């Protein structure tokens, strides 16, 4: 993955991500005595809320900058790829918010590793981008990149599955489904599409010459304007996939 995370930018321009992920905590039901893995913990905003329950929490993230930011907040965070998790039936639950769609190289391997990390009947509670997520933003990026002879899916691949596809993948990894739903969640962008891209599309921006980046940002924002700007301002066309699954076999 070419995406590079900047914790300070994420905190200022991406703060809506953990806020909108808070309903997952009610599904997780953390409590003292539980051991929980936060997969893709980022800077640890939601990790801290899980820790407030008294549960023991380990956070992992592929970004060293995010891991460092989480550690500064007192979180037990480890830089680790989800494809290489070594855990063996150590956790009562695995939690993940807005991270699984970045793991596009081998999403089935991620699910297998999550299953291995969980104890029998352990629960996997997560939310990710679903089919159609950021459709207009990606279409605009593709159009602007095509003019530059670049391919979005090669530069910055993401995995936005349908509910049916992901349910089948979970079941193939040994999970039974407690609940799974896909829903639209238009999300306000105080800094517009350009601000959103500066945080969540650094893999694309880093593939461009520095002198071309501002022009690219403006092109994408202009292309999305008819779809993502209304009388209240800019928004992102988010589609979310939220699920609760239980490990059914060792």
What are the φ/ψ torsions at residue 43 (nearest 5 degrees)?
-85, 0
**pTM of the predicted model as reported, rounded to 2 decimal places:** 0.92
Q: How many beta carbons lie within 10 A of that of residue 66, not counting itself?
A: 22
pLDDT in tens, the chain (250 residues): 566 656 566 555 555 556 666 789 999 999 999 999 999 999 998 999 999 999 999 999 999 999 999 999 999 999 999 999 999 999 999 999 999 999 999 999 999 999 999 999 999 999 999 999 999 999 999 999 999 999 999 999 999 999 999 999 999 999 999 999 999 999 999 899 999 999 899 899 999 999 999 999 999 999 999 999 999 999 999 999 999 999 997 6
Contacting residues for 233 by C-beta, under 8 A, at least 6 apart: 188, 189, 190, 192
Burial of 110 (0-12, 13-18, 19+ CB in 10 A): buried
Query: Greatest CA separation found in the chain?
Result: 55
Is there a contact between 95 and 28 (Cβ–Cβ < 8 Å)? yes
CATH code assigned to 7-134+158-188+237-247: 3.40.50.150
């Amino acid at each position: 993955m070419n995406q590079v995370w900047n914790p300070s930018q994420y905190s200022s321009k991406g703060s809506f991500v953990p806020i909108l992920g808070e309903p997952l905590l009610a599904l997780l039901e953390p409590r003292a005595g539980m051991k929980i893995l936060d997969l893709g913990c980022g800077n640890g905003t939601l990790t801290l809320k899980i820790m407030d329950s008294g549960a023991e929490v380990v956070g992992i993230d592929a970004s060293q900058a995010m891991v460092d930011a989480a550690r500064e907040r007192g979180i037990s965070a480890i830089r680790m790829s989800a494809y290489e998790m070594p855990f063996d039936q150590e956790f009562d639950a695995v939690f993940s918010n807005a991270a699984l769609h970045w793991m596009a190289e081998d999403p089935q391997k991620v699910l297998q590793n999550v299953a291995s990390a969980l104890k029998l009947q352990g629960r996997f509670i997560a939310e990710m981008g679903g089919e159609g997520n950021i459709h207009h933003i990606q279409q605009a990026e593709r159009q602007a990149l095509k003019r530059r002879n670049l391919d979005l899916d090669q530069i910055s691949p993401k995995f936005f599955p349908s509910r049916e596809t992901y349910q089948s993948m979970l079941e193939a990894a040994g999970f039974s489904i407690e609940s799974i739903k896909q829903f639209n969640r238009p999300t306000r962008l105080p800094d517009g599409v350009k601000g959103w891209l500066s945080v969540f599309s650094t893999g694309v921006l880093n593939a461009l010459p520095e002198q071309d980046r501002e022009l690219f940002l403006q092109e994408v924002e202009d292309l999305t304007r008819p779809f993502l700007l209304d009388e209240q301002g800019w928004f992102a066309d988010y589609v979310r996939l939220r699920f609760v699954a239980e490990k059914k076999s060792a």
